[in-house]
Structure 1
Amino acid sequence: MQASFAQVEAFNKKLIDDGHFVYACGLTPPESAQVVNPDATITAGPAVSGDKMLGGFWVIEASSPEVAVALAEQGAAACGQPVELRPMQ
């Protein structure tokens, strides 16, 4: 786990040094989630069940979709997990 943290820290530094970094954040485990519904009811636990979880995220600036994909590939290699890539509106 410590090796993974070091790899992600190095990737974050590279994003910063190269001017791509906007924001990043690790998330607590899914069990800590609460779902707030439109009718104002609140339920404990994640909104979606399953064996996959979102452990954190990066917000980056990329000059093209190709650059974004290349950075996502580097992020996936750094954390040893798949990285989902989505544009922001």
Structure 2
Amino acid sequence: MKQYLLAVQFDESVPETEEETRAQMARTGRVTEEIRAAGAWVFTGGLQPSHATTVVRPANGTTTMTDGPFAETKEQLGGFWVIRCEDLDQALAWADKCALACGRPIEVRPFHDGAED
């Protein structure tokens, strides 16, 4: 079994009503429960908006800290699932359900397991 990150890409420039947010949370909650029931769930989390971000950058043996996201882009990481699957096809099937539930793009990325690819 491999672990996969299902990363929700969130466009902060598109406002969402409270009603839309509640409906989206209900749909993603149902998918999360389905993932749990299937034994594929490892961890999930929603993130605060990118303005709450602090970036710590190393340079010349020291670090600097700046407010705001790492990259200036309209799409930010909005939340994620970490799941355990037999293969990429199974992870993509879960990502399909997650994308439909939250109405946002999902980036699927396998965790590095130390094996040679």
TM-score (norm 1): 0.97
How well do the aligned residues superpose, as a CA RMSD in angstroms?
A: 0.7
Query: Equivalences for 1:19-30 in 2 at 5 Å?
Result: 19-30=39-50
Helix, strand or coil at the partner of 1:74: helix
Post-superposition Cα deviations, 1:9-29, rounded to whole Å, max 9, x if no partner, equal 000000000001000010010
Secondary structure at 2:105 match in 1: coil
Amino acid at match of 2:79: G
For residue 60 of structure 1, what is the amino acid of its counterpart? I
Moved over 4 A (4+): none
Cα distance in 1 for partners of 2:110, 2:73 equals 25
Displacement of 1:65 in angstroms is 1.1
1:72 alignment partner in structure 2: 95
Give 5+ residue unaligned stretches, structure 1. Answer: none
Q: Tell me, in whole angstroms, the C-alpha distance in 2 between the residues paired with 1:46 and 1:74.
A: 28
Q: What percentage of aligned pairs have identical amino acids?
A: 36
- Which structure has more relative contact order (CA 8 Å, sep 6+)? It is 2
Unaligned stretches of 5+ residues in structure 2: 1-20, 113-117
Q: Which has the larger share of strand?
A: 2
Return the match for 1:47 from 70, 84, 87.
70
In structure 1, distance between residues paired with 2:22 and 2:64 = 39
Partner of 1:11: 31
Q: Could you say what secondary structure the match of 2:55 adopts?
A: strand
Q: SS at 2:69's partner residue?
A: coil
Please identify the structure whose Cα radius of gyration is greater: 2
How far is the alpha carbon of 1:31 from its aligned partner?
A: 0.3
1:2 is displaced (CA, Å) by: 1.1
